[in-house]
Amino acid sequence: MAGRDTDRLVAISTWKKHARRTPEGYYDLETDDLGGVPVRLFLTAKLLLEAEDTLYRQIVNAARFPGVKLVVITPDSHYGYGVPVGCVILTDAHAGAVAMGPVGFDIGCGMMSARSSVEAEEATPEKRREFNRAVMERVEMGQGGRSTRMRNLEKREFDELIRGGAEYYVDKYGASFDRSRAERHRIPVEGEWDVPWGRQGRPERGIAQLGSLGGGNHFIELQRSEQTGTLFVQVHTGSRGFGHGLATNYFELARAEKPDQVRDIDLGYFTPDSAHYRSYLNAVAAGGNFAILNRLIIFEEIAAAFRQVFRRDLELVYEISHNLVQKEWHPEFGDVLVHRKGATRAFPAGHPALDGTIWEKTGHPVLIPGSNKDYSFILRPKVQAAVSGFSVNHGAGRQLSRSEAFRRLSQKSIDAEYRDAGILVNLDGRVPLDEAAPCYKSSREVVQAVLDAGLAEVEHELWPLSSLKGTEDRSSAKKWKEKREKRAQRRQESDWQRYLVDAAVDDSSDDDPDPSDNSGGDQSSHHY
C-alpha cells in the first residue's frame, strides 16, 4: 500500500506533465489512476498551466463511473460537484452507469440566443435602460422569482408541459418562435413515470416558476454582433426549483441504494440493474423539458419588450442545454450515454441526429457566453467535434471564487469600470461582485482552445451592452456565500488529504448546493 500511495502522490503532484499534446490540437492524459479510460483535455497551454491542481482528483472521479468510454475536459473546466464543471463523460448505453454529478442540480440549464435587424447604434443609453426596465416588468428574477405568465398552473397542466415540451406548448398556447430552433422539441418521458411530488427536494416548488430567470449566474443580456452590427439577446437559465428538486430526490436515492459505494452525494449513479435507473432518466427528461420551455417562454417575454422599445422583432437563433445526459451514437464508441456537465452539444453538418432538420447541412449553432464585460460567441461545429464527444465548452469558466470576489473586488471600482465601458447592469448599474468580469476566464482564450482543435468555427462575436441579473439581499447573500465557500474549501482540502493518504478509496466531495436555493442553479459552478 505504501508504494502505491507514493506512486499516486507523484502522479497527483505532476499530473499536468502526463498531458501529451496531440497533432489534432488537444491533450491526451494518461496515468495509472485513470484505469485505461481515454481522457482528452481541450485546453490551450495557458489554460492547462492555470488549471487547479485539485481538478485532477475530479478527472479521476469522472473516469471511474461504471462503463466509462471517454472523458472530455472542456476549456472552461473548473472544480465542481464531484466532477469538473466543463466535462463530458460517455458511458456504455447498455451496461454503463448514468451518473448524477455529471448532470448536476440544474437539470437542463442552458442558453438561448435571439437576433434582430436593429442597428446597435439605436441602443442608446436611454434605450438600454428602457429595455432593461421592460424586460424586468415581464420576467421575474432572483432565486424566489415566480412566473408572470404561468404562475397559476395546476399540477395536471404542468405535467402535460413537462412531458410534451415545446411541442405541447406550441399546440396548446401558440407561440411566436419556431420550435425547430430548439435543440430538442420534446425529450420523451415514459408514461408510467410520476413526478416525486412532496419528496426530497420538493420539485413542486418549481410549478410557479416556469418563465422566470432565477438567481446566481443566470442572466439576460443585450448584445452587439461584431459581424453584423445588429442587436442580439442572450439568456442563461435552467429548470429552476423543479429541476433542483428532482435532482435532490434522486441524489438521495442513489446514496441510499449504494451506501457503501456512494459515500458522497456528488458521485451518485445508477446502473441498468437499479430500480431507479429509468426513473432518473425520465426525471432528467422532464427537467430538460421544463428548462427548454423556460427559455422559450422567457424569449417570448423578451421579444415583447424588444418590440416595445425598438419597434422591431426578435428572431430566435437557437436554444440549447448544457446540463443533460442523453443517449447518442458515437462513431468511435457506439451507443453511449453522453453526460454534459457545463458542456454544450456540437453536432456538425451531416450528423445523423440532424437528418431532416434545418441544421443537417450546416450543423446547429453553439452558444458560448463570456462574462458580462467580455465577448460571447456563436460557433458552428465542424466534423472534428467527434473527438470531443460532439461537445464544446458552455462558457468561459470561473477563475475567482465567490468569496474571493467579495474580498478582493471593490464595488465602487467595478461599477465604474462597467459605466466606462457603457454596460448597464440592471437599472441601478450595481454589478454583483461575485458575477463581475474578473471572476471569469477570458472568453477568447477559451474559444481559442476550441479553434485549435478544429471543433468549431466562429460565426458571431457578441459584445454586451446591458445585462440583467437576479440579485438577492446583498448582505445576507454575501454572508451565505462566504460561509459556503469556506465550507467548500475545508471539504476540498480534507478530500485532497484523504486521497493522498488512502489511494484505494474512491470518494470525494465538494461544495454542496444551497438547500434553500429556489433557482435550481449550481450557484458556484458555471456562467458566461
What positions carry a catalytic annotation?
394
Half-sphere exposure at residue 171, Cβ-oriented, CA atoms within 13 angstroms: 9
What does the alpha-carbon distance between residue 134 and residue 355 come to, in Å, rounded to a whole number? 39
Query: Which DSSP letter does residue 181 get?
Result: G
Strands 68-78 and 39-41, sheet pairing = parallel
**CA–CA distances in Å: residue 387 to residues 41, 90, 359, 395, 448:** 11, 12, 20, 19, 17
Q: Is the dihedral of CA 362, 365, 366, 371 positive or negative?
A: positive
DSSP letters along 354-418, please?
A: GTTSTTTTT---EEE---TTS-EEEEEE-GGGGGGTSEEESS--BSS-HHHHHHH--HHHHHHHH
- Closest by CA to 236, choosing from 345, 372, 125, 401, is 372
Buried b (16+ CB within 10 A) or exposed e, 415-434: bebbeeeebbbbeeeebbbb
CB-neighbour burial class of residue 304 (10 A; exposed 0-12, middle 13-18, buried 19+):
middle
Nearest residue to 71 (alpha-carbon basis) of 36, 120, 123, 121:
36
Per the document, the length of the chain is 528
Could you give the CA distance from residue 436 to residue 213 in angstroms, rounded to a whole number? 18
Is residue 520 packed enough to be buried (19+ CB in 10 Å), middle (13-18) or exposed (0-12)?
buried
Angle at CA of residue 279, ends 273 and 283, nearest 5°: 145
Neighbours of 275 (CB within 10 A): 9
**83, burial (CB in 10 Å: exposed 0-12, middle 13-18, buried 19+):** buried
Q: How many CB atoms lie within 10 A of CB 487?
A: 12
Q: Which 8-state DSSP code applies to residue 440?
A: B
- Measured CA to CA, the distance from residue 396 to residue 367 in angstroms comes to 11
483 backbone φψ class: left, alpha, beta (φ>0; ψ -120 to 50): alpha
